[in-house]
């Protein structure tokens, strides 16, 4: 039964990593602040934690949030979210993993926002649980935790675990958590406060549809493009793809040339190499392992193709600072 205005104040904590995504963080915490204002009394108490000894954590855009040390006791904490952005290579945080496990043992609901579910998994808190995270980190997550399968959902609520994508998806998650406690009418007032008139369902997709992402609408071509994305590790032949789409190989070639401006092989290679670039930036996999995971014969072949397309080796790619603008190879410019 929904809570009433006189219920005890719930502590909502946020553990922030340097470079945490400011938009996702604000989308998660602001609804609880608005709930207090609309209720005319404190329903939630927001608290912020970090590892930094100077008591501040800098966000993705440079804004600073004052933080306290990682919590050791439950106190009034009802839910604690871990919020992370940037690259998974920067997320080896044993102290945070230990804090999350300690809080979970104390009965605190643990949540992850954007890259945060990656740290939850590293802490062993998502074993056997449904989950999600920002789509950009899904490839690295699957490689690091092969027993887990993140859903392409906006958020997933699974009892004492809550995971959420980035961007504005936390607005939808916060709406659900406020509704869970205070009822649909009150949660609706909070969403209206932010002009959030269309609240997304948990299973709504994080990304635009394939038609929107590729700018094509031909059903056979869309089927092939979506299959390409699912088969980067073991690419299918043009003949197999044509049979899957119930078209001739010649017609499939014409569709790619006319609708995508690329050949079948160029498009497939671009999808695979883009996936490889994401793994280079985000995963601890070796270059040989990445080559295998993206369907290349060996590391040397992968490196040759990568250098041809991007003008640098895979190892050089790993040295590019986070946030640098991605280079699009001229061979694939439309």
In the block, residue with structure tokens 């998660």: 28
Q: What is the pLDDT of residue 212?
A: 74
CA 250 – CA 239 distance, rounded (Å): 10
Q: What is the pLDDT of residue 321?
A: 54
291-304: b or e for each residue (b if 16 or more CB lie within 10 Å)? bbbbbbeebeebbe
Q: What is the pLDDT of residue 103?
A: 98
Residues 6+ apart with CB under 8 A from 234: 295
Q: Topology of 210-332 in CATH?
A: Arc Repressor Mutant, subunit A (1.10.10)
99-108: b or e for each residue (b if 16 or more CB lie within 10 Å)? bbebbbeeeb
- Residue 286, both tokens: 């070796």
Low-confidence ranges of the chain (pLDDT < 70): 1-7, 320-334
CA proximity to 104, closest of 175, 158, 25, 47: 158
Q: What is the pLDDT of residue 43?
A: 97
Q: Topology of 10-193 in CATH?
A: Rossmann fold (3.40.50)
CA 48 – CA 43 distance, rounded (Å): 17
Evaluate whether 272 touches 295 at the Cβ level (below 8 Å): yes
Kindly give the residue spans of alpha helices, DSSP state H, lying in the chain: 22-39, 94-105, 116-122, 138-144, 169-182, 184-193, 210-214, 219-230, 238-245, 249-255, 264-282, 287-293, 299-310, 314-317
CA proximity to 28, closest of 171, 164, 134, 133: 171
Q: What is the dihedral of CA 130, 136, 137, 140, to 10 degrees?
A: 110
Residues carrying CATH 3.40.50.880, the chain: 10-193
Q: What is the pLDDT of residue 330?
A: 42
CA 15 – CA 255 distance, rounded (Å): 49
Residues carrying CATH 1.10.10.60, the chain: 210-332
Q: What is the pLDDT of residue 121?
A: 97
CA 59 – CA 84 distance, rounded (Å): 9
In degrees and rounded to multiples of 5, residue 19 shows phi and psi of 85, 15
- Total-model pTM: 0.76
Evaluate whether 136 touches 99 at the Cβ level (below 8 Å): no
């Amino acid at each position: 039964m929904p809570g009433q205005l006189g219920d005890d104040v719930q502590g909502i904590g946020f553990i922030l990593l340097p470079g945490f995504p400011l938009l996702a963080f604000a989308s998660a915490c602001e609804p609880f602040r608005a709930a207090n204002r609309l209720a005319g009394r404190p329903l939630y108490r927001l608290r912020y934690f970090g590892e930094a000894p100077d008591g501040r954590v800098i966000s993705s855009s440079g804004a600073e949030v004052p933080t306290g040390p990682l919590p050791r006791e439950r106190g009034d904490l009802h839910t604690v979210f871990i919020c992370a952005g940037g690259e998974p290579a920067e997320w080896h945080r044993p102290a945070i993993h230990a804090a999350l496990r300690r809080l979970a043992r104390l009965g605190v609901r643990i949540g992850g926002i954007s890259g945060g579910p990656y740290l939850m998994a590293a802490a062993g808190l998502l074993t056997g649980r449904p989950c999600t995270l920002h789509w950009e980190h899904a490839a690295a997550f699957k490689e690091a935790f092969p027993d887990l399968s993140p859903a392409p959902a906006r958020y997933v609520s699974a009892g004492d675990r809550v995971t959420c994508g980035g961007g504005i998806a936390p607005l939808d998650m916060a709406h659900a958590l406020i509704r869970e406690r205070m009822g649909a009418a009150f949660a609706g007032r909070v969403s209206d406060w932010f002009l959030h008139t269309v609240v997304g369902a948990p299973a709504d997709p994080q990304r635009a549809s394939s038609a929107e992402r590729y700018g094509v609408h031909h059903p056979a071509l869309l089927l092939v493009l979506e299959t390409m994305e699912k088969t980067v590790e073991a690419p299918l032949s043009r003949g197999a793809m044509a049979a899957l789409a119930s078209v001739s190989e010649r017609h499939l070639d014409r569709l790619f040339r006319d609708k995508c401006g690329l050949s079948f092989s160029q498009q497939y290679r671009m999808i695979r190499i883009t996936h490889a670039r994401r793994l280079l930036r985000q995963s601890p996999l070796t270059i040989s392992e990445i080559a295998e995971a993206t369907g290349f014969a060996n590391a040397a072949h992968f490196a040759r193709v990568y250098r041809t397309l991007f003008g640098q080796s895979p190892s050089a790619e790993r040295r590019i600072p986070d946030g640098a603008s991605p280079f699009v190879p001229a061979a694939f410019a439309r």
